[in-house]
Structure 1
Amino acid sequence: MLSPISQPPRFISQENWNALTSETPSSFASIPPIIRHQQENVTITFSPDWEGYGEQGLKGTLFVTEEALSFLPTASTSGFTLPYPSITLHAISRDNAALGPCVYCQLDESVQPDAGAALPVVERENDGHYHPEDDEEADTPMREMRIFVGEESLEPIFLSLSHCASLHPSIFDAVDGMSDDEGIYADPSTFEPFTGEDGEELSAVGRAALAHLESILVWPVGQGPNAAAEDAVEDAEEEQVEESKEEESKPVVNGK
């Protein structure tokens, strides 16, 4: 959950970290976390609002360290630090015409249990299908955060967030007693994929995430999202070639 800060977080470069750990230190806890990305002229907004950031947000410096995501505004001291398990989703979005492209994040602001406390157990129907009512019962408070920055900085921030988040798996990953193996070897026949039928539509965030995934995926030949259109163009080109060959092979009569 969001915690206010009034000064930059502690951090260290990868090179300095390597130098400090080249010999066993007296305490690893005393070594600051590695910073993966630092970006100035970043604008942060929250929905619902947090600490007066408002719809226009505040501009300042973003710090992506391996410990947490932090931000310190240029014109005030109302910064924040955010642990990675609280970021349940992050994706590149280009839907905001006013402020430009951003890294969109969904934040889980539910109270985090103590490290020594037992994990909550939520009873769910164990039939392999997703049941929306299960999430409604949990009633988890959510907040949206948008990190507005220039186009050239979107990918570095997104990749840095992804790397650091992978170092901090959510403490709720083990809820429901599901082991890692059960998640890996789940039966795909029980999945209920999004099909767009019955008036279903992806949200703006879903479209942005899908567009980003499609831009970085390398599809096997004939299996991409535009495979049908590509096949149709290829067939049309082959037909034109065949027709040209047939015209050239026709006998010439009276010099015609």
Structure 2
Amino acid sequence: MPVTLLHSLPALSQTRFTAEKTRVACDPPSDAAHGLGTLYIDEQRVVFFSTEASCGFSIDYPTIVIHAVSRSADPVGAHLYCQLDGPFPGYAKAGGDSDEEDEEEQFAELRFIPEDEQLLDDMFKAMSDCAALNPDDGGSDSGSDLDDLCVGDYQDESAVQTIEEFNSSAFITSPDQLSSLTPKGRETLAHLESIIVESTEQTNGYNDEGRFDDAE
């Protein structure tokens, strides 16, 4: 999984979007992915760097298997959600180092929380555009394989996808497609669906007015 820990800001080829005063949160927690910094959405990679702490990280686009905007009643606030294809370097385990625990830590989830929520749509679109420039050439043998479920993929440039709007039927339209998924693909789909359920449960009892105020 090409995630690189940084101690200085690297040279960026062509930055599509910059979001200063952005917080990052990682699940499972990692000492290398937390706090306040600047998010750079570059054509070659995503870079998060804190000048004050002189540390950060970069992520190659094929490593990001899911990206979407979340505006649900999440404790961290509205954010750009990214799921990686493996654990984040330096993640802190709770408890022992059992094999069972290792199996459970197959995904890292990053949440980029900008100070200005209005930046989320532009962040999403910039990441979608750059991801399209960096396809995963080392993936499956079949172009129909659904291992890389990117909620952020969009056909209409004005369409911003949110986690709350995700519907697995958009990806799985027949039993044959489901059976063709590898174990990793099934796990990715199940994990994303669980996020939708949790998001829905968190909003129960809240006023949902304006919850889907996506760009038109």
TM-score (norm 1): 0.50
1:44 is aligned to 24
Q: Are 1:178 and 2:149 an aligned pair?
A: no
1:50, distance to aligned residue in structure 2 (A): 1.9
2:198, 2:124 → 1: CA distance? 16
Counterpart selection for 1:166 from 108, 111, 132: 132
* Structure 2 CA distance for partners of 1:179 and 1:157, relative to 1, 3 Å: closer
Which residue of structure 2 lines up, in the alignment, with residue 85 of structure 1?
A: 62
User: Whole-Å Cα distance in 1 between the matches of residues 40 and 73 of structure 2?
Assistant: 23
Q: Secondary structure at the match of 1:9?
A: coil
Corresponding letter in the other structure for 1:62? L
- Counterpart position of 1:5: 6
How many residues align? The count is 155
Mapped contact 1:108–1:140 kept (Cα < 8 A): no
Counterpart-to-counterpart distance in 2, 1:102 and 1:213: 13
Residue in structure 2 matching 1:157, options 123, 130, 149:
123
1:232-253 CA distances to partner (integer Å, 9 max, x unpaired)? xxxxxxxxxxxxxxxxxxxxxx
Unaligned 5+ residue runs, structure 1?
12-32, 111-137, 181-186, 194-200, 218-256
Q: Report the Cα offset of residue 207 of structure 1.
A: 8.2
The alpha-carbon distance between structure 1 residues 157 and 179, as it changes in their structure 2 partners (threshold 3 A), is closer
> C-alpha displacement at 1:109, in angstroms?
2.7
Q: Which has the larger radius of gyration?
A: 1
RCO greater where, 1 or 2, for CA within 8 Å and sep 6 or more?
A: 2
Percent of aligned pairs sharing the same letter:
25
Deviation at 1:43, TM superposition (A): 0.2
- Is the 8 Å Cα contact of residues 71 and 81 (structure 1) preserved in structure 2? yes
- 1:1-256 aligned at under 5 Å gives the runs 1-11=2-12, 33-51=13-31, 53=33, 57-109=34-86, 141-149=106-114, 150-173=116-139, 175=140, 177-179=141-143, 189-190=174-175, 202-205=193-196
Task: Give the AA of the match of 1:68.
Answer: R
Is the contact between residue 25 and residue 110 of structure 2 (CA under 8 Å) also seen in structure 1? yes
Distance 1:34 1:52, change over 3 A: closer
Q: Deviations over 1:173-203 (max 9, x none)?
A: 3x2x3146xxxxxx9554679xxxxxxx943
Are the equivalent residues in 1 in contact too, given 2:5–2:32 (CA < 8 A)? no
State whether residues 83 and 107 of structure 2, in contact with CA within 8 Å, keep that contact through their aligned partners in structure 1.
Answer: yes
TM-score by length of 2: 0.58
Note the aligned Cα RMSD (angstroms): 4.0
- Structure 1 residue 107, shift from structure 2 partner: 0.5
